[in-house]
Structures are given as C-alpha cells and as structure tokens.
Structure 1
Amino acid sequence: MDRARPRLSRSDQAQPVLLPEEPAILGVRHAVRSWSADHGGGPVAVALSGGADSLALTAAAVAEVPDVLALVVDHGLQQGSAAVAAAAAAQAVAFGCSDAVVLTVDVGHCGGMEAAARRARYDALGDARAGRPVLVAHTLDDQAETVLLGLGRGSGPRSIAGMQAWDDPWGRPLLGVRRSVTRQACRELGVVPFEDPHNTDAAFTRVRLRHEVLPLLDDVLGGAVAEALGRTAAQIREDAQVLDDLAAELLDLARDGDAVLVTMLTERPAALRRRALRLWLLERGAKGLSDKQLRLVDDLVGAWRGQGGVAVSGAPTGARLVVGRRHGRLNAELEWN
C-alpha cells in the first residue's frame, strides 16, 4: 500500500519546455501519437521512474496528449530513492505534466524481490491512476527480453506473444521503439536519466538477457534480433486472438450454469479446448494458471479415466479451488481446509 503522496503541480514550477525537433524525441512522439489516436486520445497517467525510457515517454506524452498525470513509484529499496523520485516528479512538471505524484510503497518478499516490487508498483499505479490509462515505458528491447524469457521457460504461446500495446488499464506506446532511441531522446532533451543499479545486476535474469544473450544473438544472427522477436510476438498475438475468439464461442456452447458440458468439448482440438477451459477457470476465480494445471484439467475431458479432481491456483487462504468431473460436467468448487 502506498503511504504519503508528495505532489507537484504545474503552477509550482516554470512553464513547460518546448521539445527539440530532433530525430529520437520525434520518433518517441510519433509512437505516443499513434497509440493515443488508437485509444481515444484522452488524458493519461504515465508511470515515471526517472530512467531514460520513462523520461522520454513522459516528455512525448505531454506533447501529444491533452493532459498528463505523472505517477512516480518510490520502492524504497535503495538509499536515496526518495530524492530520485522527487527529482523525477519535478522533471515531469517541468516537461508540462499537470500533476506529479510520488507513491511510496512497501515491497514484500513473496516470490522474490523483483516480483514483489512489480506487484507493489502496479498496485500503487492502479490505485492512483484516477480512471486514466497508465502509460508504461516498455520498449522493443523489453519486448524481446520477454519473448526470450517465455521461450526459455517453455510457458507457451501467451508468453512468446509478449506484451500488448493495450492491456486495460496499461498502455505501452513504445513497444516498437528501441532503448537506444529513448536514451538519445534524453540527450536531445538535455536531461540526465537515473541509472538504476538493478539494471546492471547480473543476479537478475533479464539483466543477463539484456547484456549477454541478446548481444550474442545479434552477433551470431547478423543483428536485428530484437526487431525479429518483436515481429514474432506480434504474429503470435494475432493468431492467439483468433483462437481466443473461437474458444469464447466454444465455451458459450458448453456452458451449463456454472459448469461446462464435457460432451461439447471432447471432440474439439486440444488447443481450442484448453483455451475454452482457461477462460472458464478464470471466470471461476483461478489465477496464475500454469500449463501443467491446465493440461491436468484438460485430461478430465480428453483423457478421462475416472481420476480425481485437480486443484488450480487462485483460491483464498485456507481453501483450494478444485475442478472435478461428475455426471458429464466439469465443476470448479472451493474446498475449505
């Protein structure tokens, strides 16, 4: 939960600067302009860390969007983090943001520091966005890293499909922009981005992908690997959307109240059947479904041998969400310990 919310408003600072008409910042502006046109063109919030990507995004958003609220999350994980957050908020207002709010969060330990910080950050941004979309500064390089992580973990096409430009309420206008462009944009703007030491810490898998694996792939494959991975993600997302639409239609046919009829699923292709089951399980409260869990649930349809129920993620503390087959129907019910 976020604590105090120091804030600055445009009236507290000088008038916003005019952005230079240089190639990098113009490229970032074009990406934001295109995203805004595709998603209503209204006011937005921007998640600002003080790093190069989010600084360039914030400056471009001010130039392209009618009203921009900057949200700066202070995780409190490093000495001097409050000063970094305050400087980022001040820069946002100097760019022309109508308001800049610092959100100080408590980072837990569940799932490791990186995952805990991400949860705390997104929870705080979601609470403070005031109904606006929140723009986050994920770049093409981040997309490439995400695709490689998905490939390495064998977590299926949803991971390989990477991040979406719009995943309500999160907007990602810079998925086609290289990290080198946002850094150059900061030089053109005359601002010095904050360099997070975690971004060079080889203890984190993403850091090693960024500094070791992707450069090696570029060397072996002749360059442009990030762009190729971005194209692959886009193609998989397009295919996945078609399958998801077909799965939603199949689920509607198979519904029997809160249960699903096995006979409506049995003869369907496994990939389509599992997508329909995933949609149904999410409706029933499942969260963080693993491929293994989904395949075990699918076995209740496609490999039925009278086996018992399957526990899936998402139950409240002290309970299990269990999927079982009875009388030709699948039911998902909470079982309390």
Structure 2
Amino acid sequence: MRISVVIPTQRRTAGLETAARSILGQTGAPFADLELVIVDNDKTPSAQPMAAALAAEAPFPVVYVHEPEPGVANARNAALEQARGEFIAFLDDDEEAPAGWLAALLAAQARFDADVVFGPVRGRAPAGVTRHRDYLETFFSRQGPPEAGLIDHYYGCGDSLLRRAALPDPKRPFSAVRNHIGGEDDLLFGQMKANGARFAWAPEAWVWEDPVPARLSLGYTIRRAFAYGQGPSAACAAADPPDRLGLAFWMGQGLVQAGVFGLLAGLKWLIRAPDFAFTLDRAARGLGKTLWWGPFKIEFYGRSAA
C-alpha cells in the first residue's frame, strides 16, 4: 500500500463526510495503491457508521481507527500506526479537496524528491457571515509562493504529504506534549528540518477549508492568533539545549509588535476601520510571542465527551 490519506475527526460527521467524499472523487491518483484512514478521536465511536458507509462504496480500502484517548497528537499517531502507506497525506475534517489534489501533491513530491509537500488552503465562510468576512477567510487560509518549488520553512499538517521514511518515528512521530494546545506538527517538522528534511510547496494542491460556525468569530480567531504567536518562542524554549538567544529575540519582537499593533488596533476600533481585525490579529500574535509559557497556554484540542 503506497499512499495513505489520513483524516482525523472528532464529532464532525458532516465535515468528515465532505472531506472523505472528496477523496473518493480524486482523479489522476493511483487508486490501486491508495487507502483512506479515518481516525475517530471521540470516546464513543461516533464516526464508525459514517466510515462503514464510505467503505461500502469506496474504490479503495477505508480503514477506521478508534482512538478514545483525546488529543490531536494521539489521533495522528493512532492513524499512522494503522496506515500502510509509504506516503501519508493529511486532510482535516473541515477541508475539501478538489479532484486533482492528491495527484498534485504526489507530482510535487516526485519532482523535488521532497520529504514533506504542502499545499494552499482557501478559507470559505458561509454566505451569511458578513462581519469581518475578509479577515475570517484570510485567517483560515494558507498562502504561499505562486510557483512550485523547494522551501526552507514549513506549514501545518492539514493539506500535506509526508514520506514515512523521513519521519523520526515512522509510527508515532507526533509529540503528546502538544495534545491539547496543538502545534504537534510544528514540533515534528522543526525536528525534521533540523535533520535535513526537504520541504516543497505545491500551489496546485489546494483545498477548501470550511470552519465550523463556532470558529467564525473574533473571540476564537484572536485566541488562536495568540497561540500561533507562542509557537516560535515555545520552540526555542523546547530546543535541546534551549535556544535562549532565539527566545530573547522572539519575546522582544513580540513585545514591540504587541505594543505597536495593539495601539493601532485601538485607534482603528474607535474609527470603525474595516481592517481592524487584521491589526488586532497582529497584536495578539505579538503578545503570544512574549507570553508563551505554562499559565498562558490555551487548550484547543483533546476535549472529548464520554
């Protein structure tokens, strides 16, 4: 089995069905060498009926994995333990892949001999969302270079293709310390970069992202921007040995960023400027760089009902 497409999910059956059916509709990919792995991170196997229904009509194997222990790293690791592919493609359960998505990822991997390939994400808000619409769709998007090629940085796991042989652990590469706050992919890709992994960008391998309604608000996105800002500082602190110079740099930059953009956001709020949310986002990311340690960590994952 050469290629495994992994979709982690937790109580999002509608989004799961959209994501999974977009895999069933792929063209140009070698179906004979393909499997779909659905990993259910709910304590009760709520996604199992959907997985069974998809398996009955899919032209390739559909593997259902139940990981009751909550946590985003737990879910990804459970999928990799069961997946048989030498290449692992990740799609989130709020994403939808156009028909040529997987073929584009595979083509970029072969062209650049890449260990990880990333593609763009296009945020898509429902028609009823009017307030801060441009900001929200931008927030849930991923942009990159207009041309395909090797890159010296990395993105998140959703919409990516990994070569299993390049992983530091072929079955459980994601760190459990990030189960509840996210960033498990940043830790993995950072480690891979330090080990000399090759990253590539495939602009043709784009996907839609349809955020759940609860996330389409400044209350969610600004908290998430703060958490994103914590990433580089936390990575420096977690390095072995700790990168104290890098940590001081990011914290100092964050302090300036939070002050400048925080003041500017306040002024834009007073005059009801249309780009207020963009400025507030930058202030939150700066604050996250400065306040990155324990008490300021925000949990976004790992909450599962009994």
TM over 0.5: no
Largest Rg, 1 or 2: 1
Greater percentage in helix: 1
Higher relative contact order structure (alpha carbons within 8 Å, sequence separation ≥ 6): 2
TM-score w.r.t. structure 2 length?
Answer: 0.30
